Structure 1
Amino acid sequence: MKTITSSQNTYIKQLVQLKDKSRERKKLGQFLIEGVREISLAIKGGYDLETVLFYPELFSEEKRNDFINQEINIIEISKEVYQKLAYRDTTEGILAVAKTKPNSLDNLKLERKNPLILVAEAPEKPGNIGAILRTADAAHVDAVIIANPKTDLYNPNIIRSSVGCVFTNQIAVGSTSEIINFLNQNSISIYCAALQASVNYHTQDFTTSTAIVVGTEATGLSEEWLENSAQNIIIPMQGEIDSMNVSVAAGILIFEAKRQRNFK
């Protein structure tokens, strides 16, 4: 087993770039995962781990052997190296390097006859994306699709805020046009959360093949979505503001669809 004690090690410098730079993640097709729960969910989600790094004072070798049963590269690291790589102040002392997935529309497998899909257009804040993925996991939707993404899915902030649900959901990314074509080709009705020409969300039938589409709080959905919407829907609001956090809105809409489907 290899040991690395210096944060100036070439490989460690590469991992820091992997943690901090989207272009490095895209170029290498790799990303960094931190924490037992997140790594466990990545393994369960079918992600290939290339390397596991552990700091023995926080994560013992015995614990590591119980946790990792794959034949992969194992590296013991020092406190200095761990602090350089760790994104959170309090984690369990284990990190992993994993291979990214393509996350293309072509790879989506819609096994149910009436899939329920959550689409988010151009979400910018990793925290919102993470919260949307947590909602999608809780509702066990068939897929989450990100239109015109502003950041890559393997941003450490998304992994952290999603508490690993980036690994538990079936996710695809694409342009708005590509996604609309995909939904139309698969006979999936589009319901857009929008103020214009909208009806109360609970008046619609979400038991058939359904895509619920949400946009950003600042600009809402693009015109292309509105032009292709089967029906725009709105959450009635009784306060002074006319919008709410996108992840909260997505949760309300998705769980209404699940209620109509008897949570199946």
Structure 2
Amino acid sequence: MITSVKNEKVKNWRKLRKKKERDLQNQFIIEGFHLIEEAHKSSWQIVEIIHQEGVECPKAWLHYPLFKVTDNVMAAISETKTPQGIVAVVNKKNNDEKVVNRALMVDRVQDPGNLGTMIRTADAAGFDTVILGHGTVDLFNDKVIRSTQGSLFHLNVYEADLVGEMERLQQLSITIWSTGLENASNYHELDVPDKIAIIVGNEGSGVNRTLMTKADQNVMIPIYGQAESLNVSIAAAILMYEVVKK
């Protein structure tokens, strides 16, 4: 039983709230039974599980290193308003160059909820890959992870220089669509290729102009009402589901 927030293990768990420490230790924290179960069923490696006194671990998890903590320690570790009393430390996973058929490329999206929602939607739409460009919110941010609802563990998600990654994918005969208004066609007027990557951009400025010029096709979603634009996660959802319809 760990009872003090000054315990060295507790101090280390709390450090993982910060991106710098997550990068340094190559680990991150997940919270709640659902996320831990999704990680457990995946190929990601759970390092240890921390559970609050009175909260029981499922039998399938008992082979992991377990640490029981008091209420005050769990409160110090948790980042949720209503914690379930159980968290896990997970090792980050390197991109293992899986085959790409349908990918979402994310350029400088800042809102954790938007990124998490897009990863969850990519999973639901049957995409296999999500590629995060430089300047995008940290994948292992607590709010991002919670918004993915476990889909993080179902996809090949990695960070890359999008210019170089576009060139690599195009060499593999993957067609690149970029969202944007310049020289763009309505998405529903286009033939959908068998292998495709869709780029969506920053909430305020959209996709970087350099990326747009390197894309095979710029696409737009028509606005029929008075709204100025669509939320980036909604736009991504529309395009991803359009792709899988064909």
Smaller-chain TM-score bracket = over 0.9
Give the counterpart of 1:95 among 73, 87, 90: 87
Q: Is the 8 A contact 1:50 1:96 kept in 2?
A: yes
CA distance in 2 between counterparts of 1:75 and 1:141 reads: 36
CA distance in 2 between counterparts of 1:182 and 1:243 reads: 31
SS of 1:152's partner is coil
* 2:22 corresponds to 1:38: no
Deviation at 1:69, TM superposition (A): 4.2
Unaligned 5+ runs, structure 1: none
Q: Is the 8 A contact 2:107 2:136 kept in 1?
A: no
Q: Is the 8 A contact 2:108 2:133 kept in 1?
A: yes
Q: Is the 8 A contact 2:179 2:200 kept in 1?
A: yes
1:108 equivalent in structure 2: 97
Amino acid at match of 2:12: Q
Mapping of residues 70-89 of structure 1, within 5 Å: 70=63, 72-89=64-81
Amino acid at match of 2:88: A
Q: Is the 8 A contact 2:109 2:203 kept in 1?
A: no
CA distance in 1 between counterparts of 2:197 and 2:121 reads: 15
2:227 equivalent in structure 1: 241
Give the counterpart of 2:127 among 141, 151, 155: 141
CA distance in 1 between counterparts of 2:58 and 2:220 reads: 51
Give the counterpart of 1:123 among 83, 90, 109: 109
Q: Is the 8 A contact 1:116 1:211 kept in 2?
A: yes
TM-score by length of 2: 0.95
Give the counterpart of 2:61 among 56, 68, 88: 68
CA distance in 1 between counterparts of 2:191 and 2:25 reads: 44
Deviation at 1:45, TM superposition (A): 2.3
Amino acid at match of 2:20: R
Q: Is the 8 A contact 1:158 1:166 kept in 2?
A: no
CA distance in 2 between counterparts of 1:132 and 1:247 reads: 5
Q: Is the 8 A contact 2:175 2:193 kept in 1?
A: no
Identity of aligned residues (%): 32
Deviation at 1:42, TM superposition (A): 1.3
Q: Is the 8 A contact 1:108 1:171 kept in 2?
A: no
Deviation at 1:65, TM superposition (A): 4.5
* 2:150 corresponds to 1:152: no
1:132 equivalent in structure 2: 118
Aligned residues: 246
SS of 2:73's partner is helix
Mapping of residues 114-263 of structure 1, within 5 Å: 115-260=101-246
Which stretch has the larger CA shift, 133-142 or 204-213?
A: 204-213
CA distance in 2 between counterparts of 1:95 and 1:108 reads: 29
CA distance in 1 between counterparts of 2:6 and 2:143 reads: 24
SS of 1:4's partner is coil
Unaligned 5+ runs, structure 2: none
Deviation at 1:219, TM superposition (A): 0.7
Structure 1's 42 and 149: CA in aligned 2 closer, same or farther, altered over 3 A? Answer: farther
Structure 1 residue ranges (4+ consecutive) displaced by more than 3 angstroms after TM superposition? none
